[in-house]
Structure formats: C-alpha cells, structure tokens
Amino acid sequence: MQLTEKHREYWHRNLVITTILMVVWFIATFVVGWYARELNGTTILGFPLGFYMAAQGSLIIYVVIIFIYARYMNNLDRAFGVQEGDDE
C-alpha cells in the first residue's frame, strides 16, 4: 500500500480543518468560560451573555462545528477519491 501525493494532501487538509475547528471549540469553551463574569456585563434578550453562552450559546456552536466537519470531510472524500461506494 503506497500513499500518493494526493493522499498526503487529503490528510493535510483533514489536519487543517481539525485544527481550525478545535480553535473555535477552545474559544467557545475555555476562553468564554474564563471570561464569563466579564461577559455577564452584556445583556441580550434578557440573558447575561456569559450565562447564555454556557447554557446555550456554546452548545449551539458545538452542534455547528460537528455539522461543518461532517460536511467538509464527506466532500473532501469525494474530491480526493477516497469516498466509500456502499452508501447513499
């Protein structure tokens, strides 16, 4: 089994998207969590922002991150010819 340049490129792109999404995840989790008290100074729809992020905002970001990853990778599989056939 020999990996081609194309395979390496596929894996590289996978690492790039993984890194980008991990940075978003880190900010939504730990940076927002660390500054929760400061964020609470802002109010949106009655919610103090720090509370809102921990209760709902970050959760929504997580769902979106996973959605983007699944979509991006499934397209990447096709573009690099490593997609599976036995699937809709």
Partner 1 sequence: MSAVISDNRAFFNQLRKYYTVYTGGFLAFVIALAIAEQMGMSRQWIGYWFLFATIGLYAMIGIMSRTVDAAEYYVAGRRVPAFFNGMATGADWMSAASFIGMAGTLYLSGFDGLAFVMGWTGGYVLVALFLAPYLRKFGQFTIPDFLGARYGGNIVRSIGIFAAILCSFTYVVAQIYGVGIITSRFTGLEFGIGVFVGLAGILVCSFLGGMRAVTWTQVAQYIILIIAYLTPVVWLGVKHTGVPIPQFAYGYTLQKVGDLEKKITADPKEVEARGLAKAAAAEATSALKDPVKAASDRRAALEQRLAKSKADNAPDHVQKSIQQALSNTPTDPEKAREYWTARRNLGANASPPRQHADPFPGANEQARDIARRNFLGIVFCMMFGTAALPHILMRYYTTPSVRQARISVFWSLFFIFLLYFTAPCLAVLAKYDVYSNLVGSRFAELPAWAAAWRLVDPALLTITDLNFDGIVQLAEIAIGGDIIVLATPEIAGLPYVVSGLVAAGGLAAALSTADGLLLTIANALGHDLYYKMIAPGAPTARRVAVSKGLLLIVAVIAAWVTSYKPGNILFLVGAAFSLAASGFFPALVLGVFWKRANKWGAITGMVAGLGVCMYYMSVTYPFLRDLFGITAPIASYQWFGMNPISAGVFGVPIGLVTIWIVSLLTPAPDRQVQELVDHVRYPVLAGDIETRAT
Name the residues that contact partner 1, by CB under 8 A: 1-3, 7, 10-11, 14, 18, 21-22, 25, 28-30, 33-34, 36-37, 40, 43-48, 50-52, 54-56, 58-60, 62-63, 65-67, 69-70, 73-74, 77, 82-88
Please tell me the distance from the alpha carbon of residue 36 to that of residue 47, in angstroms, as a whole number.
Answer: 12
What is the nearest approach in angstroms of partner 1 to the Cβ of residue 5?
14
Q: Where are the beta strands (DSSP E) in the chain?
A: 43-44, 47-48
**Residue of 73, 41, 36, 71 lying closest to 51 (CA atoms):** 36
What is the nearest approach in angstroms of partner 1 to the Cβ of residue 72?
9
Helix 5-26 and helix 58-79, axial crossing angle in degrees, nearest 10: 170
What is the nearest approach in angstroms of partner 1 to the Cβ of residue 8?
11
